[in-house]
Amino acid sequence: MRHNLVLRVVAKLLIPFILLFALYVQFHGDFGPGGGFQAGVIIAAAIIFYGLIYGLDAARKAMPDRVVETMVACGVLIYAGVGLAGLFLGGNYLDYFVLDHDPAHGQHRGIFWVEVGVAVTVSGVMLKIFYMFASRGRDPE
Amino acid sequence: MNIVLDVLSWACLAGGGFFCVVGGIGLIRMPDFYTRMHAASVTETLGAGLILLGLMLQAGFTLVTAKLLLICLFIFLTSPAATHALAKAALLRGLQPLLTAMGDKPSKP
Amino acid sequence: MSFWSHFSYAITIFLMVAGLYIVIARGNLIKKLVGLGVFQTSVYMLYIAPGKLIGGTAPIIDANFKVYSNPLPHVLILTAIVVGVATLALGLALVVRIREAYDTIEEDDILASDEGEPGGDGQRR
Amino acid sequence: MALTVIVLTRSRNLFTVVVLAGVYSFLMATALVALDAVDVAMTEASVGAGISTVLLLGALYLCKSEETKPVRKPWLPLAVSAAAGALLVFGTLGLPAFSDPAAPIHTHVVPRYLNDVLRETGVPNVVTAVLASYRGYDTLGETTVVFTAGIGVIALLRRRRKQPGAANKQDAAK
Amino acid sequence: MFATAACALLATIALALARAALGPSVFDRLQSANTIGTCAMLLLAVMGFLGGRPEFLDLALVYGLLNVLGTIAVLKYFRHGDLGEPGDAEESPKP
C-alpha cells in the first residue's frame, strides 16, 4: 500500500513492539500465560503484518527463505538436542534434572530451551506457509 | 483517599460500559456503513478509554498499570488506523455514503 | 443432575453437530475446512470444560490461591491447536492443488469430472 | 457464538465465512478464558484469529471462488447430524456434572502436578511445566508434526511454480 | 462493579454480533468484527480483575494485535486480491 501512509507509519511503530512482546511472552511463559507456541505465532504474526503492509518482497528481504527454512528444522533439532544433552550428561532422554547441579534449576533450563525450540519451529513453519500461500499466485504465469 | 479512588474508578467503569452499549446500539441502528463506523468508534475510543482508566485506578502503581497503558496506546494507535483503512477500502470499492444517494454530488475519494 | 450441570456438554454437542453438518452438507472444500475447524473447537470445549472448577483460577501457582483448574487438558489442547492450524494449512494447500488440477473446489464437480474421464487430462497437468 | 455458527452454516459467500470464522475464534477464546484456560485462549486467539484468517484468505485468493452452489438436499445430512447429536446427548447423561471436584479428571494425576510442580521444576505456570517437562515426549512429537506439516505444505505448493508450458516441456522431456 | 462493566461489554458484543450476522456488506461485517475484537479485549481485562488475577493482560494485548492483523489482512485481500503485493499506483490514483 504505497499511498497508504497511515498504515505504513502505524506498522512501523507497532512491529518492534510486537516483536518485543513476543519475546516477553516467550521468556515470561514460566510465570504467566505464555510459552513457546504463543511466542512463535506472535513472531510469525509480526512478520506477516510487515509482509501485508510493505509487500511480500520486503518481508522476504527481511526474513529470507533460507533463514525461515533453517528455522523450521533448527527448532526440532534444538528440542531433540536438549533430550540428547540429558542423555549425554547421564540421565534419560529428555531428562532435565541432570542439566544443572540443582535439579530444579536443571528443569528450569531444560524447559527454557525446549520452549525456544518450539517457538523457533512454530514461527518458521507459519512464516513458510504464509510465504508459500502468498507467493503462489504472484509468479508470472 | 481509597474511597475516592474507588468511586472514581466505578464511575469510569460505568461510563465506559454505557458508551460501549451506546456504540453497539448505534452499530445496529445506523442506516449505512459510514455512520455505523462512526458509532463503532464511540466504543473503541471513549468506551475503551474509560474502562481502561477505571481499571488503572483500581490497579494502582504496578506493572498492571503499565500493561493497561500499553493496551490503551495500542487501541488508540491501531483502531483509527484500521478504521481509516476500512473506510478507504470501502470508498474505493464504490460504496457510496447515504448522503450522496439523497441527491448530493458523489464526493471524490 | 439438573440441566445446568450439563450445560457445557450441551454447548459442546451443539458445536459438534453444527461442524458435522457443515462438513457433510456443504460441497465447497474451503467451507468444509472451516466446518472442520468448528468441530475441532467443540473438541476443545469438551476437554477444557470438565477441567474447570468453580472458584478456582488458572493453573499458575500463586500463594494467594488454593484451588486451581485442571492443567492437564490445557496442555493437551495447546498442542492440539497448533497441530490443528498446521493441518489446516496442509488441507488448504491440498485444496489449492485440487483447484489447479480440476479448476473447481466443489466436491460434486470434482466427482463428475472424475467419472467423466477417468484418469484423463483432469488429473495431471 | 451459536448465532455465529448458524450464520456460518448458512452463508454462501466464502469471504463472509472467513470473516465470521475469525469472529468465532475470538469468541471461542473468550469462552476459554472464562473456563480458566489462559494459555489455551492465548494460542487459540493468536492462531485462530490471526494466522488461520490469513491462510484462509491466501487459499481463497488462489481458488478465486466466491460462491458455492446452493445445497441440494439438506435433509439427509441434517438427519445424520441430528442423530449424532441425540446419541451424544444420551452419552452425556453418564458424565459427571460441571465443576464437580470429585470427577475422575480431578483425582488422578493432576494433584501431583499441582502440588509438586514448584518443588520439582520451580516454574509456577503449571501448563508450561507439564508441557515441557512432564510431557516432554508429547511435545516433541507435536513439534515434529508441525514440522512435517510445514514440509508437506512446501512439497505441495512448491511444485509447478513455473508456467504451464514449462511444466509441459518438462513432462515431455521425461 | 466489574461485573456491571463486563455485562455491558457482553451486551455490546451481542449487538455487534447481530450486525455481523445481518450486515449487508462485507465492510459492515468487518467493522463489527473489529468492534467485537476490541470488546473482547476489554472484557478480558475486566475479567482478569474480576477473578482477582490481573496478570492476564498479556492476553488482551495479543487480542488487540491479532485483531488489527486480521482486519488489515482482509482489507488487503479486498483491495488487491493478493496478500503479497506491495501495492502499486493502480488502485489509488493520485489526484
Higher-confidence residue of B65 and A104: namely: B65
Q: Does D58 touch chain E (CB under 8 A)?
A: yes
User: Where are any strands of DSSP class E within C38-112?
Assistant: none
Q: Identify the chains in contact with E, defined as 3+ C-beta pairs within 8 A.
A: A, B, C, D
pLDDT of residue C56: 67
Q: Give me the residues of E, 21-80, that contact B with CB < 8 A.
A: 25, 27-28, 30-32, 34-35, 38-39, 41-42, 45-46, 49, 54-55, 57-58, 60-61, 64-65, 67-68, 71-72, 75, 78-79
How far away is chain D from the Cα of A47, in angstroms, using its nearest Cα?
Answer: 11
Contact A33 D42 (CB under 8 A): yes
Average pLDDT over residues B25-51: 80
**Does residue D121 surpass a pLDDT of 50?**
yes
Contact A110 D123 (CB under 8 A): no
Average pLDDT over residues D111-140: 72
CA distances to A59, A126, A127, A139, C124 from A67, rounded to whole Å, are 12, 13, 11, 21, 33
C-E interface (Cβ pairs under 8 Å ≥ 3): yes
Average per-residue pLDDT for chain D: 69
pLDDT of residue D64: 59
**Does residue D99 surpass a pLDDT of 50?**
yes
Closest residue by Cα to residue B94 from E79, C113, A126: E79
Please give the helix or strand (H or E) that residue D118 lies within, else none.
Answer: helix D110-120
pLDDT of residue C55: 67
What kind of fold does domain C4-116 have according to CATH? Helix Hairpins (1.10.287)
Residue C87: list chain D partners with CB under 8 A.
149
Percent of chain D topping pLDDT 70 = 57
Average pLDDT over residues B74-87: 81
Chain A interface residues facing chain C, Cβ-Cβ under 8 Å?
A: 31-33, 35, 37, 41, 122, 125-126, 129, 132-133, 136
Contact C90 D152 (CB under 8 A): yes
- Owner of C-alpha cell 498504515: A7
Rounded to a whole number of angstroms, the CA Rg of chain B reads: 18
pLDDT of residue D101: 64
pLDDT of residue B100: 52
Distance CA A74, CA A68 (A): 10
In this structure, are residues A121 and D147 in contact, taking their beta carbons and an 8 Å threshold?
yes
In this structure, are residues B55 and E45 in contact, taking their beta carbons and an 8 Å threshold?
yes
Chains A, C: CB contacts within 8 A come to: 20
Domain count within chain E:
1
In this structure, are residues D77 and C117 in contact, taking their beta carbons and an 8 Å threshold?
no
Distance CA B73, CA B62 (A): 17
**Could you state, in chain order, the average pLDDT of each consecutive group of 10 residues for chain C (125 residues)?**
63 78 76 82 81 70 70 82 85 82 72 64 40
CB neighbourhood size of C84 (10 A): 22
Q: Does D141 touch chain A (CB under 8 A)?
A: no
Residues in chain E with pLDDT values less than 70: 23, 53-55, 78-95
Residue D169's pLDDT band (cuts 50, 70, 90): very low
Return the domain boundaries, chain B. 2-96
Nearest beta carbon to residue D39 from set A33, A73, A114: A33
Q: Does A27 touch chain E (CB under 8 A)?
A: no
Residue C49: list chain D partners with CB under 8 A.
35, 98
Higher-confidence residue of D16 and B69: namely: B69
Q: Does B66 touch chain E (CB under 8 A)?
A: no
Contact C20 D80 (CB under 8 A): yes
Return the domain boundaries, chain C. 4-116
How far away is chain B from the Cα of E9, in angstroms, using its nearest Cα?
Answer: 6
For an interface test with C, the pick among D20, D40, D55, D76 (most C C-beta atoms closer than 10 Å) comes out as D40
Distance CA B72, CA B48 (A): 8
pLDDT of residue C122: 42
- Pure H helices in B62-107: 63-93, 98-101
pLDDT of residue B28: 80
**Does residue D122 surpass a pLDDT of 50?**
yes
D-B interface (Cβ pairs under 8 Å ≥ 3): no
Domain of E46 in residue numbering reads as 2-80
**Does residue D171 surpass a pLDDT of 50?**
no
Q: Give me the residues of D, 40-79, that contact C with CB < 8 A.
A: 40, 43-44, 47-48, 51-52, 55-56, 58-60, 62-63, 65, 68-69, 71, 74, 77-78
Distance CA B66, CA E67 (A): 21
Q: Identify the chains in contact with A, defined as 3+ C-beta pairs within 8 A.
A: B, C, D, E
Residues in chain A with pLDDT values less than 50: 1-2, 139-141
Contact A14 B85 (CB under 8 A): no
D44-82 pLDDT, tens digit each? 877 777 777 777 777 776 665 555 555 556 677 778 778
Helix count and strand count (H, E) for chain B: 5, 0
Distance CA D70, CA C31 (A): 13
- Owner of C-alpha cell 501457582: C61
**Does residue B74 surpass a pLDDT of 60?**
yes
Closest residue by Cα to residue C69 from C40, C42, C84, C47: C47
pLDDT of residue B53: 84
Q: Does A50 touch chain D (CB under 8 A)?
A: no
